[in-house]
Structure formats: C-alpha cells, structure tokens
Amino acid sequence: MLTAAYIYCGLIFGVIGFQFALIFGAPWGRFTQGGTHNGALPRRGRVMAAVSVIILAAMALAILSAAGLWPEWPRWTGWVAVALNGVVMGLNWATPSAVERNLWGPITSLMFLLALTVMLYR
C-alpha cells in the first residue's frame, strides 16, 4: 500500500508539473482540456490549470494521509480523491482528442487504480 501511495504521488507531482508548465505558457494545449488549443492555453485555460494544481495537491495529500504518510485527514477525503480520479479518468477516455486520450487515458487509469488500492488496503 505504501508503494502505491508513493507511485500515486509521484504521478500527481508529474501532472502538477505539467499544469505549471501550461500556466507559464508551454505550447501543450493540444494535450489538455479537450485538445482544442494548439500552442499555449488562453488565460481561461491557464486559470483552469491553476485550479487543477490545487485540486491535485489536495488529492495527493488525501491519499498520503490514507496511507499513514501524512497527518491524519478524515478517511472520506481519500474516497473523494478516488472519485475525482474516476471522473477524470472517464473524461480522459471520452475526450474527442485522440492525443489527449492516448496520453492521459492510461495515466489517469493508473492513478485511479493506485488511489483505489490505497483506500481498499489501508
């Protein structure tokens, strides 16, 4: 379970790095938010990336807490992280953008399974 939590958080921090790159203008718009923006995201997309950073950090801390690696948070926060991962996973597999689907579908599926593992085997 600890290994699953560490891998999960490593992936989360990678995604947070990706979001920060988007916020600061990286030309990766086609890899996110439906793949509708070539190049850098417009201001609204960058704001959405910033909100994502906050949500992702909270999800990582909830799973770390559930694994006993962070000060105790209520158990339900870990389940919220699992649910959010499930929603994001579904959206990434359902996106019309093949580039986004092929990149984020497998990553978010793995993140979902890791978070679920931590919560089920706590």
pLDDT of residue 35: 87
pLDDT of residue 89: 97
Contact 97, 35 (CB under 8 A): yes
- pLDDT tens readout for residues 55-81: 999 999 999 999 999 899 999 999 999
| pTM for the predicted model, two decimal places | 0.92
pLDDT of residue 1: 83
Q: For residue 95, give the nearest of 44, 10, 30 by alpha carbon.
A: 30
Q: How many other β-carbons are positioned within 10 Å of the β-carbon of residue 76? A: 11
- pLDDT tens readout for residues 74-114: 999 999 999 999 999 999 999 999 999 999 999 999 999 99
